[in-house]
């Protein structure tokens, strides 16, 4: 039982490049979330999903897109990376008690 996994762990992009971050969970959770964490700030919600085929915007959605084609996977895409998107990205899934379980994070640097 791996819980929540994220790939890749690290990535360096040039401004304007695109990439996709993959999140996978094996707990059969309906709800999944993408956050970013920046120095001196708490985790901020980018997008979330309440089930397969659904997505919704969070607090800081601009510059990101998401897809939830399969229940166990939640993808976060950056179409044209900007230095302001340098951050650590965390994926989470939620159980029935409203508790979220987090992946190990992806450290992204945009030059």
Partner 1 sequence: DQQVKQNSPSLSVQEGRISILNCDYTNSMFDYFLWYKKYPAEGPTFLISISSIKDKNEDGRFTVFLNKSAKHLSLHIVPSQPGDSAVYFCAASYVTGTASKLTFGTGTRLQVTL
Please report the sign of the dihedral spanned by the C-alpha atoms of residue 94, residue 92, residue 18, residue 62. positive
How is residue 3 written in tokens? 């819980």
Shortest distance (Å) from residue 98 CB to partner 1 = 5
List alpha helices for 31-95, DSSP H: none
Shortest distance (Å) from residue 62 CB to partner 1 = 17
Of 85 and 106, CB closest to partner 1: 106
Over the window 22 to 51, marking each residue x when it contacts partner 1 by CB under 8 A and - when it does not, the resulting string is ---------x-x------xxxxxx--x-x-
Comparing CA positions, the residue from 9, 53, 52 lying closest to residue 28 is 52
Told to check if 73 binds partner 1 by CB under 8 A, we report no
Please report the sign of the dihedral spanned by the C-alpha atoms of residue 78, residue 95, residue 72, residue 50. negative
User: Which residues of this chain interact with partner 1, rule CB under 8 A?
Assistant: 4, 31, 33, 40-45, 48, 50, 56, 58, 90, 92, 94, 97-105
């Amino acid at each position: 039982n791996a819980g929540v996994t994220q790939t890749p762990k690290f990535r360096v992009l040039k401004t304007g490049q695109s990439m996709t971050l993959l999140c996978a969970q094996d707990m059969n959770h309906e709800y999944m979330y993408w956050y970013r964490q920046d120095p001196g700030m708490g985790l901020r919600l980018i997008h979330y999903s309440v089930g397969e085929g659904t997505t919704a915007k969070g607090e800081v959605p601009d510059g990101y897109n998401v897809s939830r084609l399969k229940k166990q996977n939640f993808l976060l895409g950056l179409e044209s990376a900007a230095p302001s998107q340098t951050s650590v990205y965390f994926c989470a899934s939620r159980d029935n008690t409203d508790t979220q379980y987090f992946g190990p994070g992806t450290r992204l640097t945009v030059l």
